[in-house]
Amino acid sequence: MKKEAPVFSLWMVITDWTLDRIDDFPKKVRHTISNRVADLTLDILELIIEALYKRRKVSILREINIKLEKLRILFRICLNKKYLSMKQYEFIQEKLLEAGKMIGGWIRHRGADG
What digits encode the pLDDT tens for the residues 17-40?
A: 999 999 999 999 989 999 999 999
What pTM, to 2 d.p., does this model score? 0.92
Contact 18, 43 (CB under 8 A): no
Instruction: With CA atoms as reference, report the closest residue to 64 among 2, 3, 14, 30.
Output: 14
3-state secondary structure of 31: coil
- Which secondary-structure segment (H or E) carries 73? helix 58-80
Q: For residue 101, what pLDDT is reported?
A: 97
Assess whether pLDDT exceeds 90 at residue 113: no
What digits encode the pLDDT tens for the residues 92-112?
A: 999 999 999 999 999 988 765
User: Tell me: domain 6-108, CATH 3.40.30.10, correct?
Assistant: no
Q: For residue 1, what pLDDT is reported?
A: 53
45 or 2, greater pLDDT: 45
Share of the chain above pLDDT 70, in %: 94
